[in-house]
Structure 1
Amino acid sequence: MDNGDRWIGGNCIALLENGEEFFARVFDAIRQAKREVIIETFILFEDKVGLALHAAMRAAAQRGVKIDMLVDGFGSPDLSREFIEGLSSVGVRTRVFDHGKRILGQRLNVFRRMHRKIVVVDGELAFVGGINYSADHLLDFGPKAKQDYAVELRGPIVAQIHQFVLRAIALGDKGPRWFRRRLKQAPPADREAVGQVDAMFVTRDNRRHTGDIERQYLIAIRAARQRIVIANAYFFPGYRLIKELRRAARRGVDVRLILQGEPDMPIVKTAASMLYHHLMHSGVHIYEYCERPLHAKIALMDDRWTTVGSSNLDPLSLSLNLEANVIARDKAFNQLLWERMDRLMRESCKEIGPADLENEWSGWRLVRSFFIFHFLRWYPSWLGWLPRHVPRLTPAEAIALVEKREQRENDKKSGDNAVTPTEVA
């Protein structure tokens, strides 16, 4: 799939913070859809958010809107037959990326996940970000509610995103011929300028675009002269990105990292904190977000460059997962994101100082830094050795039918093996 890696002008962009803003806009867009809705997501749960999405898709499909949804087999493994059949019965086509069976109760399809979160409506409106369809993205979920972001887009950039998602679902249907026919039938996206924002849609895959998102980060960091702010949930980037952040701080750029202080997985904080000495020694400022788990994947450089998307800065996102980010050049949007991040740092974060670092024996820290340095330097190559297969998209209703058949066979075996009262006597 061709990213383009080029700036497209004439767009409008709006920041959506947390599920309260994101779900309201997405569900409203689905309700107003006239022709087509395409959704990609890593996680879809059957909680109040998933059921609300289910209802919105059913209602749209019943009035004739074509709806395609792609979910990841690892991130969304437990969708019920009733949930899937409720969609397929009204014509919603749900596909599962790399569905894998459980072995001894464990899911083994861990690597190379479809981690993107994209929605395209009528080829005219798009949403890209890091928010999944689950209740833990809402504040009323409690202390474990996630802090996260997405963007809403209109303008010429939507045409590129639309073609991308059409290609993605074509992989699981009838190939290029199907794609060409569907693309030809699709109404032309609004290519007229609707705003002043230059935007770029950048993806990461395991074939032609293995390092595109990381490369855009590196370009922006090298060009930065005033400030760099990165808020990222899972931070353990490669050697090159760490090196450029340190270089930026040494040349006087105000470099700030907002990382997890209350992580959903403890190992996340442990891994990131192993880099604190190395980064702070060069002048990088580190803030830990302490209110709730941080799920953000956003950054801003100087007064124009910003990115919002699904890509973390860790081995999975940078070397294995399928990801998607939007990069924007616009002073107003950059200023808005800076204001949100500045408020987050002042009101909800703790800045890490020398006293917060572990008081370790300097010799052990030197040894540990040596191994971390070489791991960061080489892990993209090492992870490239992991199994790489052709992505397979499976219709969700086919999976439901297989599971239903297996359940019947299990029930039958259980009945055959059951001990009757007569046999006991």
Structure 2
Amino acid sequence: MSKRQWHAGNRVRLLENGEAFFPRVFEAIRAAEREVLIETFILFEDKVGLQLHAAVCEAARRGVRVDLMVDGFGSPDLSARFIDSMREAGVHLRVFDPGRRVLGQRLNVFRRMHRKIVVVDGRLAFVGGINYSADHLMDFGPEAKQDYAVEITGPVVDEIHRFMLHAVALGGKGHRWFRRRLKVTADVRNEPTGEAEMMFVVRDNRRHTDDIERHYLAAIRTARERIVIANAYFFPGYRLIKELRRAARRGVDVRLILQGEPDMPIVKTAASMLYHHLLHAGVRIYEYCERPLHGKVALTDGLWSTVGSSNLDPLSLSLNLEANVLIRDPAFNAQLYERLEHLMREACKQVQPDDLQEWSGWRLVRSFFVFHFMRWFPAWARWLPRHAPRLVPAHATDLAEAAASPANQASQGQTPVNRAPQTDCA
């Protein structure tokens, strides 16, 4: 793919949580005339997954080309009936690195396809952190996730569309098919629809290994008034921690919204190991305590924002395949800040220096190793197993699990409405 660039003239709409996101996506799929492209880390066979299943099958039956791509680690328990009915309807379902279980354990942990993207007819795109699972809805209960996505129209959708076509081409059809498909859709050229400048950025294990991190660093370095980062899995690299501390020391209002009620306890433990370094530099930390935080959003000053799938942890910054949009738009920045400020005011606890444990010899030693781990992890990650971004047709995998799984209960009419398997770093 070509070098990323800013595109003017876009309209962007913030979608908070599944209540805003799912109806818009399903409506767009039902209105599709020619093509639907979807990538998601998680697709569960619960009430949300079944709604997506119905929408894409209906679209495929009326002649819309539907390509649905899921991650093999994030979506491991889809039933045979769920998969086969999509294929029979004409949906092209593919799986990124399905892997096989060894003694019941999934070993395909590294280099996950973690993106969450939808493109409809090459004219409408959705990018964010929301998966297709019921735990993104409030009625799921105390473990319902707080998350964000954006709906986009305008010239930047052309680039997102080309990226998605290229991703589908890697499923075995190759670049010749990609060129034919791109030629068929060449008449789709999006005219300006709004005032936002936008850039689509990805992280992969080939040419774009640190693009998202570099844009975060550039935004932090140039901030003059405020920085607000809401991130579910916060254990960033050494450089990002250093720039946050520098920004706070030069008078920038730096705020972090992190998990106070994490879906995995280790998430809070890892982040809290950084609290001393950040608080003593003037960074303000807020723990979101209402339910698990799953968002991956940030803003600086009154212009720059980002929304996407990338956490600020070693998996997202050094291993996984990720996608974010960068946004230069005062109106969107103000809306996102208002929603995050509401979160901090109504549902967060601000961490105070007095809340931290006193320094000890062990904490100093642990801090030393943590900082150097963060500093060198990107280099070490190159030695971990690499997964090329290839997709496998779903019927060729062993995704269907034993009849006792929640997925098969759903396929037999016992739909688990508010149950979703736990998945690492979603």
Aligned mates of 1:49, 1:187 — CA distance in 2: 33
C-alpha contact (below 8 Å) 1:203/1:325 kept by paired residues: yes
Aligned mates of 2:83, 2:283 — CA distance in 1: 48
In structure 2, the residue matched to 1:121 is 120
The alpha carbon displacement at 1:400 in A equals 5.6
- Identify unmatched segments of 5+ residues in structure 2: 403-426
Aligned pairs, how many?
402
The alpha carbon displacement at 1:401 in A equals 9.9
The alpha carbon displacement at 1:372 in A equals 1.6
Amino acid at match of 2:132: Y
In structure 1, the residue matched to 2:420 is none
Alpha-carbon displacement from aligned partner over 1:95-124 (angstroms, at most 9, x marks no partner): 000010111111100000000000000000
In structure 2, the residue matched to 1:136 is 135
C-alpha contact (below 8 Å) 1:81/1:400 kept by paired residues: no
Aligned mates of 2:387, 2:32 — CA distance in 1: 35
C-alpha contact (below 8 Å) 1:84/1:400 kept by paired residues: no
Verify: 1:347 aligned to 2:346, yes or no.
yes
The alpha carbon displacement at 1:187 in A equals 5.0
The alpha carbon displacement at 1:224 in A equals 0.2
More moved, 218-227 vs 387-396: 387-396
1:89 alignment partner, SS class: helix
Per the normalisation by structure 2, the TM-score is 0.93
- Residue 394 of structure 2, aligned match among 387, 396, 414: 396
C-alpha RMSD of the superposition: 1.3
Q: How does 1:348-363 map to 2 (within 5 A)?
A: 348-361=347-360, 363=361
Aligned mates of 1:36, 1:323 — CA distance in 2: 22
| Alpha-carbon distance change, 293 to 403 in structure 1, aligned in 2, over 3 angstroms | closer
C-alpha contact (below 8 Å) 1:171/1:392 kept by paired residues: yes
How high is the sequence identity, in percent, across the aligned residues? Answer: 73
Per the normalisation by structure 1, the TM-score is 0.93
The alpha carbon displacement at 1:234 in A equals 0.1
In structure 1, the residue matched to 2:84 is 85
Aligned mates of 2:321, 2:263 — CA distance in 1: 22
- Identify unmatched segments of 5+ residues in structure 1: 405-425
Moved over 6 A (4+): 401-404
C-alpha contact (below 8 Å) 1:123/1:187 kept by paired residues: no
C-alpha contact (below 8 Å) 2:79/2:399 kept by paired residues: no
Aligned mates of 2:34, 2:119 — CA distance in 1: 11
In structure 1, the residue matched to 2:96 is 97
In structure 2, the residue matched to 1:387 is 385
More moved, 284-293 vs 173-182: 173-182
Alpha-carbon displacement from aligned partner over 1:226-252 (angstroms, at most 9, x marks no partner): 000000000000000000000000000
The alpha carbon displacement at 1:192 in A equals 1.2
Aligned mates of 1:351, 1:324 — CA distance in 2: 30
More moved, 319-328 vs 392-401: 392-401
2:194 alignment partner, SS class: coil
In structure 1, the residue matched to 2:304 is 305
Q: How does 1:230-309 map to 2 (within 5 A)?
A: 230-309=229-308
| Alpha-carbon distance change, 402 to 84 in structure 1, aligned in 2, over 3 angstroms | closer
Aligned mates of 2:60, 2:27 — CA distance in 1: 14
Aligned mates of 1:111, 1:269 — CA distance in 2: 21
Amino acid at match of 2:374: L
Amino acid at match of 1:351: Q
Alpha-carbon displacement from aligned partner over 1:269-322 (angstroms, at most 9, x marks no partner): 000000000001100000000000000000000000000000000000000000
C-alpha contact (below 8 Å) 2:97/2:387 kept by paired residues: no
Aligned mates of 1:10, 1:136 — CA distance in 2: 34
More moved, 348-357 vs 316-325: 348-357
Verify: 1:229 aligned to 2:248, yes or no.
no
C-alpha contact (below 8 Å) 2:80/2:400 kept by paired residues: no
C-alpha contact (below 8 Å) 1:158/1:189 kept by paired residues: no
Aligned mates of 1:51, 1:214 — CA distance in 2: 35
In structure 1, the residue matched to 2:362 is 364
In structure 1, the residue matched to 2:170 is 171
Aligned mates of 1:402, 1:348 — CA distance in 2: 39
In structure 2, the residue matched to 1:414 is none
In structure 2, the residue matched to 1:146 is 145
Alpha-carbon displacement from aligned partner over 1:318-355 (angstroms, at most 9, x marks no partner): 00000000000000000000000110000000000012
Aligned mates of 1:151, 1:392 — CA distance in 2: 26
The alpha carbon displacement at 1:164 in A equals 0.2
Aligned mates of 1:402, 1:21 — CA distance in 2: 30
Point out the structure with max Rg over C-alpha. Answer: 1
In structure 1, the residue matched to 2:38 is 39
C-alpha contact (below 8 Å) 1:123/1:188 kept by paired residues: no
C-alpha contact (below 8 Å) 2:71/2:97 kept by paired residues: yes
The alpha carbon displacement at 1:63 in A equals 1.0
* Greater relative contact order (CA < 8 Å, ≥ 6 in sequence): 2
